[in-house]
Amino acid sequence: MIPFRFGSLLSRYSGVYYLVRPGSGGAYDSDGVWIPAKEERAPYQGHIQPVSAKMQQKEGGRYTEEDRALYTTHAHLVGDLIEYQGKLYTVHDSEERDYCDVNKYMLKKVVARDTI
């Protein structure tokens, strides 16, 4: 099977988002106060769209209007932290696409006081 190549089309409409990785380690300053490590932000290119109302209903309310769909040529893992336009999202679901060079991920908005 010949895979479809949509990467060039995607690059025309894509924008910048950041993959946020927590920093490792930390250090004590001269006064003995713990300073945690800074998080690392790596820029990536992709197209982020809102989740449609049809998708929200189809999934039984699993997605809200604040969640997003990410289309990119980069590979991400479930649980990765994505920053887009100042808002944080976690990669919630990935879709296997053997026929295409573009990956689709569902992003859930990070809520500070969300229950586990």
Structural domain includes residue 2? no
What average pLDDT does range 84-96 have in this prediction? 86
Q: Give percent above pLDDT 90 in the chain.
A: 21
| pLDDT at residue 25 is higher than 60 | yes
Structural domain includes residue 94? yes
CATH number (domain holding residue 28):
2.40.10.270
Tokens of 68: 């997003």
pLDDT in tens, 7-20: 666 667 788 999 99
Structural domain includes residue 77? yes
Structural domain includes residue 1? no
Question: In the chain, how many domains are there?
Answer: 1
Q: What average pLDDT is seen over the chain?
A: 81
DSSP-derived pairing of the beta strands 81-84 and 40-50: unpaired
Structural domain includes residue 114? no
Structural domain includes residue 11? yes
Query: How many angstroms separate the Cα of 41 from the Cα of each of 24, 82, 84, 108?
Result: 13, 9, 11, 18
**68: exposed, middle or buried (Cβ count in 10 Å: 0-12, 13-18, 19+):** buried
Q: How confident is the model at residue 89 (pLDDT cuts 50, 70, 90)?
A: very high
Domain span including residue 13: 7-109
Helix, strand, coil in percent for the chain, rounding step 5: 10, 45, 45
